[in-house]
Structure 1
Amino acid sequence: EAHCDTWILEVGLGGRLDAVNVLAADLALITTIGLDHQDWLGETVEEIAAEKAGIMRPGRPAFYADQPVPAAIRNHAAETGTPLAVLGSDFSYHTTSEKLADGLRSWSWQGAAAGGIGGLKAPQYWSAAQYRDASLVLAALSVLEPALLAELAALNAVFAHSRPDGRFQQVCATHEWILDVAHNPQAATVLRAQLETLPSAAATTFVTTLLADKAVTPFVAVLAPIATRWIVAGIDDPRASSSERMCAGMAAAGIDDFEYAATPEAAFRLAERLTPPTGRIVVCGSFRIVAPALQWLGLY
């Protein structure tokens, strides 16, 4: 109805059986494979990769932005006649330690067919995951709209200054707040890497909760080494973990000293009270905890 020139459709769950897959896309982009939604997609990386690979189409390019490449990805591409481009062999990126005058970091991209792009900019907090994803985008553009690769100013406007809500969103309020919807161990690893790029804070308070189908213990275990204190928040959602489940998951990760608040608002209030002014408050674990944080901070 809107007569869009380009459609970007995000798969909701898996790929092969997702509703989005009724459309035959011109390109298929897969960022990485992690363990999540195992009840639906399978227990192993290879099983999940087989589901993700279902979005590929014969003769239409597909891209994968991580290493190592699951065998299921390569096998499905070969079986369906899908041209597959992979980070590290068909396209790549290079970062430098140079800090630019505007507080950004310089990086470059190289494509097998499209040549290279220098002078790219990225926020200081980007970890390897963000560079992989950005490289994936450039690889897709090299096939879909190669002329756009010459638009350096436009590319830098996107990479350096686009800050999606809830994705390592930095907010300066009573404290420094970081809002991130990470909700599985793989995403927690990325969040930790990003936090470790920031200047040290007097204290780091984590406010978290996870839904009942998420693994609490491995998620919090990844973040525990950089946490000063934890506050577990209750949420009014039928999919929420019970307080007992959250507490058991925290204890299994070796975290015995944490606070519990019945609502997100109570958790945020407690975090502000317990965290020194030069400390950092990190809200993570679910969209259901980040959304009320956006409201608490007056952003929605």
Structure 2
Amino acid sequence: MPNSLADWLAHLETLHPVGIDMGLDRVTEVANRMGLLERPVAKHVIMVAGTNGKGSTLAMMDAVARAHGWRAGTYSSPHLVRYNERVTINGRQASDAQLIDGFEQVEKARTRAPEVSLTYFEAGTLCALWCLSQEELDLALLEVGLGGRLDAVNIIEPDVSIVTTVALDHADYLGTDLEQIGREKSGIFRPLKPAVLGSTSLPVSVPDTAIAMASTIYAQGVGFKHSAGVKAPGDLTTPWCWHGLTPEGDTVSLDALPDPGLPIDNAATALQALALVGLDFDTALTTQAFRGLIVAGRMQWIGQWCLDVGHNPHAARYVANRLPAPPEGGRQWALIGMLEDKDADGVIDALLDRVTDWVCVSLDGERGRSAADLGRRIEAKGGTVRALADSPEAGVHAIEAELGERDRVLAMGSFKTVAALLELTLPQA
């Protein structure tokens, strides 16, 4: 067997003929051999699906639960810098040793006759579930990788299921019909269990699927909601209030919560899901959790740089609306790198009015899109492209030469773009 975590990750790449192969039969078989389906992976399990907002919703649930003394674990993907980011246990990333132990358990079960072929994601999911199941957790938070109904995470029985948003993405696998995409993501709902709908603009197929499955629906704006609070003198952000329901149907509210720097719809969804697994909220502890929250790659500010992994028009519109204007006389740069299968025109359209100077970067790999392609699209729409660079690192150097102290830089378009920048010391004027 491989020895290091790096060796294991390389080994996973060889286990299946294709990178994505939707279906639950293979992963269920290996999970049964591992005993993962014999008992819950934690006392409470919340599963999160959606086009955008999964990671931030999961991060807020994790922070609030741990602030209240709950022992929580998370599984999410993809990672930015280290694979270990995908599994956290009580706020700490899983160690190499923990992940190696998990992969060894997966391999022993997988290779038992008859041998089962697994994708990289399927093997990683089973490893994560094994790691979480060893920890006596109060709460396991599981993020769906792609879709929902046929995603490997969906072998687990959640106590609460969330669909955050539904938009166009992963068209090669999910299609371009929002109603069909909604049905796929709603495949994580369970009969007689809570289904939390995290947006007021979900396609009809999402509540329809919940009804067909006899799930109990808690919808944003109906079963729970948020509202603006009263802004105190000198506050730079507006506090907000949450109003939700307990499993028994009692109302519960939290007032004067701080802006977490993430979508408030997602924050309200996170609180509603936690209420449904029985968390007894303390306003001070919840405030503490939101105030100290930093989610890597989600509107993450590093000096003059704002890093966001958004890679579809829906995410780009959110960033554009939240992005503050640079100081008077400053320029708003955008460093953008995207994959070939993403809607580059839609992302550019969402950002065009907010960006004065563009730097386009190429991403490597078979799905990588060239800087030249992005540049042509931006210029055709009237944008000003200052440089084409053959990598995100080279794009940073291009901006560094011209960066003024009043300038701001938005870097987005892909996890790969943001991951590359997180490994650099970003220049400041």
Label 1:26 to 1:238 Cα distance change in 2 as closer, same or farther (>3 A). same
Partner of 2:150: 17
Are 1:117 and 2:117 counterparts?
A: no
Partner of 1:83: 216
Are 1:238 and 2:333 counterparts?
A: no
SS at match of 2:169: coil
Q: CA deviation at 1:272?
A: 1.8
Distance 1:250 1:157 in 2: 42
* Range that drifts further, 258-267 or 199-208: 199-208
Distance 1:156 1:200 in 2: 33
Distance 1:158 1:238 in 2: 40
TM-score, normalised by the number of residues in structure 2: 0.64
Q: CA deviation at 1:234?
A: 1.8
Are 1:188 and 2:316 counterparts?
A: yes
What aligned pairs does 1:218-229 form with structure 2 within 5 A after superposition?
218-229=346-357
Partner of 1:154: 285
SS at match of 1:166: coil
Deviations 1:251-272 (A, max 9, x none): 4434363420112221101112
What aligned pairs does 1:1-300 form with structure 2 within 5 A after superposition?
1-96=134-229, 98-99=231-232, 103-112=236-245, 113-123=250-260, 126=262, 130-147=263-280, 149=281, 151-172=282-303, 176-196=304-324, 202-255=330-383, 257-297=385-425
Deviations 1:9-38 (A, max 9, x none): 000001011000011111101111111111
SS at match of 2:259: strand
Distance 1:100 1:46 in 2: 45
Letter in 1 for 2:348: V
Question: What RMSD, in angstroms, separates the aligned Cα atoms of the two structures?
Answer: 2.1
Label 1:236 to 1:253 Cα distance change in 2 as closer, same or farther (>3 A). same
Where structure 1 has 5 or more consecutive residues not aligned to the other structure, the ranges are none
Letter in 1 for 2:289: V
Distance 1:198 1:79 in 2: 49
* Range that drifts further, 52-61 or 229-238: 229-238
* Range that drifts further, 153-162 or 103-112: 103-112
Give the structure with higher Rg (CA): 2
How many residue pairs were aligned?
A: 290
Label 1:156 to 1:197 Cα distance change in 2 as closer, same or farther (>3 A). farther
Contact 2:239–2:256 (Cα < 8 Å) also in 1: yes
Where structure 2 has 5 or more consecutive residues not aligned to the other structure, the ranges are 1-133
Distance 2:392 2:344 in 1: 18
Q: CA deviation at 1:117?
A: 1.3
Over the matched positions of the two proteins, sequence identity in percent amounts to: 30
Q: CA deviation at 1:97?
A: 6.1
Letter in 2 for 1:282: L
Deviations 1:23-78 (A, max 9, x none): 11111011111111111112121111011000001011010111133211111111
Contact 1:216–1:250 (Cα < 8 Å) also in 2: no
Deviations 1:96-147 (A, max 9, x none): 4615656443111112433211121115x55xxx110010011112111231
Label 1:65 to 1:218 Cα distance change in 2 as closer, same or farther (>3 A). same
TM-score, normalised by the number of residues in structure 1: 0.90
